[in-house]
Amino acid sequence: MTTVYARVGSPLGELLLAGEERAGGEVALASLSLPGQKGAAVVREAWRHVPEAFAPLAAQLAAYFEGRLTRFDVTYAEGVGTEFQRRVWSALDTIPYGETVSYGQIAARVDSGGAGVRAVGTAIGRNPLLVVRPCHRVIGADGALRGYAGGLECKERLLGLEGALAVRR
């Protein structure tokens, strides 16, 4: 499969979208990176710049940032992450817009066994699809904002947009 990418403007800065181009031109999203993000994707020489392939997602992102969209309709690339990470990321997809959950609650949802909250936090930190897979909705058990690959300021802005800022740092 060919990796395609586009850059999309947002209130958070320029987002980098990367995905796998499938037959018929459909793109399965593999990465959505924020400016300055820890572990962000980097455009590679073999990638093709195909902004039109991401037009539907760009429209969804614009609607989200305007407060008109509460749930993304995105096809994710398969085979990204470990089995445990995929379970954690799937649990993130169930957190409703405007709500927050704790790392411990996610650990309980995925039956993390002996891995616990720390392993869940690590898996969340490796989420390659910021914004669309809502890891920003996971907070500390005490209600405090905890790590976010895009930075705590960005996490705070996203939660503020969603009306979920009953949290304290």
Active site residues: 135
- Token pair for 106: 């996610």
**How much is the CA Rg of the chain, to the nearest whole Å?**
16
Q: Is 59 helix (H, G, I), strand (E, B) or coil?
A: helix
Decide if 31 contacts 18 (C-beta within 8 A).
yes
Query: How buried is 142 (Cβ within 10 angstroms: 0-12 exposed, 13-18 middle, 19+ buried)?
Result: exposed
